Amino acid sequence: MYTQKYNTLNHDADINGILRPTAIQRYMQETANRQLRDCGPSYEELWNSGKAFILSRMAVNMTRSIKQYEDIEVATWPSDSDKGVAFNRCYAIYSNGKEIARGLGVWALVDISTKKLLRVDEVDLSNLEAGSVHSVEGLRFRIPKEGMGPVGKYNVTYNLVDCNMHMNNTNYPDMFYSHIPGVEKCYVKDMSVTYKAEAPLGAEITIHRSEPVINEDGSITYYFRSYTGETVNAEAMMRIHN
With respect to residue 138, please indicate whether it lies within any of the assigned structural domains.
Answer: no
- What pLDDT is stored for residue 24 in this prediction? 98
With respect to residue 133, please indicate whether it lies within any of the assigned structural domains.
Answer: no
Region 8-13 average pLDDT: 97
In tens, the pLDDT along 53-65 reads: 999 999 999 999 9
Containing H/E element for 104? Answer: strand 98-111
Specify whether 90 is located in the same domain as 18.
Answer: yes
Distance of CA 89 to the CA centre of its chain: 11
Residue 110 sits in a domain whose CATH number is 3.10.129.10
DSSP assignments along 158-203, one per residue: GGGB-TTSBB-GGGHHHHHHTTSTTGGG-EEEEEEEEE-S--BTT-
**If you compute the radius of gyration of the chain from its CA atoms, what whole number of angstroms results?**
18
CA 93 to CA 72: how far, in whole Å? 7
SS3 call for 49: coil
The answer to whether residue 180 scores a pLDDT higher than 80 is yes
The reply to whether omega before 41 is within 30° of 0 (cis) is: yes
With respect to residue 139, please indicate whether it lies within any of the assigned structural domains.
Answer: no
Q: Is the separation of the CB atoms in 109 and 122 below 8 Å?
A: yes
For residue 19, what are the domain limits? 2-122
With respect to residue 144, please indicate whether it lies within any of the assigned structural domains.
Answer: no
Total domain count for the chain? 2
Check residue 97 and report its DSSP letter: T
Q: What percent of the chain has pLDDT over 70?
A: 100
